[in-house]
């Protein structure tokens, strides 16, 4: 079921990911959700979108990744700091990220409304964010969309990324090459998922297993207690080391 109160453009299809709600002590640290976005039509009604094979002769699909974290977020870590435990980051197999730079500079952060109006195709770029925080508020360390393993960190510099009324925080949009196009289960051949460390407000953090975005119709799973979540204090050492980095 689509929860449409999030500020996401044209949400059409949703996936619910792995649940990591291990005990009452971790209340609010629940899991994640993929949502596929229809990228067939550009803003303003232009018909030349991405999933009809018209862009570079390829078909692309666009997936938004949400963390279910009612108390808000401070940091998302995709394999960058191994001291946080087993966190290999997000992996893309048998595909590639679409990374658009129409203004001649890297744009790994969420594009502004002005940028989308100037170049509508950038609406479906690959980027990271923390909810609705302004791009200038989000810091980035050590990753690139030019590889199949997304290794890096994005953080808020202390500003809490507030969840929506549904208790979700949007953390990334991934546009990736596809073989079959929108709304098809391609999980037998393609993979976008892995593990991430998520740092929440209130000095709570843990490892979230991210399901395969290409696997439409996937069902939630509950990890065994004891291995699902590793609590960390984000204040001071861990968070401070990122800011210094």
Please check the confidence at residue 114 and state whether its pLDDT lies above 80: yes
pLDDT tens track for 147-162:
787 888 999 988 999 9
Q: Which residues pair with 153 in a beta bridge?
A: 77, 141
Comparison of pLDDT for 64 and 158, the residue scoring more: 64
Which residue, chain included where needed, has tokens 């998922």? 193
Percent of the chain residues topping a pLDDT of 90: 33
Both structure tokens of 202: 């209130």
Give the span between the Cα atoms of 221 and 172, in whole angstroms: 22
Over 80: is that where the pLDDT of 185 sits? yes
Q: Looking at residue 154, what is its pLDDT?
A: 93
| C-alpha span between 18 and 14 (Å, rounded) | 13
Digit-coded pLDDT (tens) for 85-99: 557 889 999 999 988
SS3 191: strand
Would you mind telling me the total number of residues written for the chain in this entry?
A: 245
Band of the pLDDT at 130, cuts 50, 70, 90? Answer: very high
For the chain, give me the number of helices (H) and strands (E)? 2, 12
Q: Where are the alpha helices (DSSP H) in the chain?
A: 113-118, 239-244
If you ran DSSP here, which 8-state letter would residue 226 be given?
T
């Amino acid at each position: 079921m689509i929860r449409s109160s999030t500020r996401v453009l044209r949400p059409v299809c949703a996936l619910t990911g792995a649940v990591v709600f291990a005990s009452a002590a971790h209340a609010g640290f629940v899991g994640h959700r993929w949502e596929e976005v229809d990228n067939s039509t550009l803003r303003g009604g232009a018909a030349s979108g991405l999933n009809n094979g018209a862009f570079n002769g390829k078909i692309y699909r666009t997936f938004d990744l949400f963390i279910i974290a009612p108390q808000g977020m401070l940091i998302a870590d995709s394999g960058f700091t191994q001291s946080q435990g087993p966190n290999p980051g997000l992996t893309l197999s048998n595909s590639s990220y679409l990374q658009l730079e129409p203004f001649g500079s890297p744009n790994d952060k969420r594009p502004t409304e002005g940028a989308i109006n100037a170049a509508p195709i950038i609406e479906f770029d690959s980027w990271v964010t923390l909810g609705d925080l302004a791009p200038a508020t989000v810091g980035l360390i050590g990753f690139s969309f030019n590889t199949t393993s997304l290794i890096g960190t994005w953080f808020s510099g202390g500003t809490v990324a507030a969840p929506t009324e549904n208790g979700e925080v949007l953390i990334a949009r991934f546009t990736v090459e596809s073989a079959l196009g929108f709304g098809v289960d391609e999980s037998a051949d393609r993979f976008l998922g892995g593990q991430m460390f998520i740092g929440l407000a209130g000095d709570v953090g843990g490892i979230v297993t991210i399901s395969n975005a290409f696997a439409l119709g996937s069902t939630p799973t509950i990890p065994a207690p004891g291995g699902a979540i590793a609590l960390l204090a984000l204040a001071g050492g861990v968070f401070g080391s990122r800011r210094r980095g």
